[in-house]
Structure 1
């Protein structure tokens, strides 16, 4: 019993002195931590912690702790190595901008994952790099972050000046809101008696003459320079509000107009495809030469040299199966990173991309899912492929194939 009380007393003293430990020995003393470059061989109990050095190029430990050495990770196929594994640092791989090497537990195989974005109300503590994913932290009192970012930390909140009053305090996702104290909107002379009234504008010249000739003791409210200034401020605020509302209405009208134009373009493209299909049937019945729908659709890209492939309004879902298979095969040659970049460029969230990656054929799943969406044209796909620098796939989409066969 006395030994237990002694251990508790020693622990209390160390906590008060700021020497709290992660683990204690049976005697109440702190267990020694294994420094970086070494890992725990056996945990402490009756004896202190035993550490052993990590093997260069095989295992590592990048921080002090009570854990064993971790195995070095290998870069994915097709990804170059930036720095080899040492006893204090894991392997660094060149996954590209906004990507990092992700590993599961102590596995030696790694995958290039998309970097996290710190949302509103959180700042970047450590930006995404070959060393690891983005580290975010909620903004502490006195700081804020009002935008999503890969690199920006929380910034200090603003302070209202001496001539300002705080309307809303600083929040993690917004700065302090201040307003000038004396706006003179409803101000009255300090010598006036009675309840405060709103300023009133004269409507006739006769009324103005009456007000100008009224005696100071008549008790009628008279317009003062402060009243005129306050009324002007109200007119300015109303004018600004009207301009904002008008701007919003114009923006909504513009968006509706653009949407109608896109729908009309898609309708024209579909009508053109139906007309081409009718011409193919007529050719088959008249000349005995069969022109299948696949070759008919393949003949359209032959005009790609005369027009920009990014303006192609044909739908991807109407491509012949063999052309889709060729696109998927060429895209697969770029590895996992290539189709993931295409998915992000097409607007897919990272969680959805990871779901595709767990399937047997993620590229086919991605393109099939995207083709079911409205507006999935070849022009949009070519634009996305241009952004990820895959002109070889654009060439497959716009290449000319012969689809004529004699029956």
Structure 2
């Protein structure tokens, strides 16, 4: 009933679901059912019967009813193989190229070939999937057929690539550290090698381990500088024997340098870094260094002159040399 009976109008009735009203007789008749291979074009309702159409190419209808149109055929994916073509009455069937596992039927006799059955994992793709899709018979082989997925074959390759990258990275880091250490050692060895005195000159050794070549000191004085006086001979005169004014002049020249010349001089005189750092806390680091060094028995003027020339302070060395020549006995 589509409308109830009221004072002015009678009740209006309509056919139940699955029926339509025949206009000729006015009675309800059962809707037409579209057979297999045919799909719904116009639905059955009111006074219109079901209108069916034959499924065109690319569609199918595997069930007889009056509600479903022709369904599109299933298209196999790139990793699947077509097992059965799509027809108007049945959907296409696809199977994966690499099933997850394979089972084999037992051999029934010597003349019969074993029939291994390949089972595939369940899939939700496709409307008309059946249980027959999960088993496939492989004929013509007496050996078990075991297949693996593509991802299983790529796992060892990925592991090998990762291991090679890690080994290469470790080797690169080790090489860089070794090369850095090698350069540091060469830099440390270059200073003693460059400072090795000539075997032809006279060598003076002190307790601090500094070797002074007096012959090289004489050779470093170019000719024509008689106004500054020649370098003093290795007579063993001590730095503390210099006048206080001359010592103060040396301290000022070292302290007024733009670079930390006194630190370089301390290294040449045999001081370690920790002791050199302690001088920086003094008001005049250069004065503290020379005062501490003058207390040693090896604090000779020749050793100081050689150390000054090694740190490229020949001007201070020349000043001391001229003072030493002026004050030394004839």
TM, length-normalised to structure 1: 0.25
TM, length-normalised to structure 2: 0.31
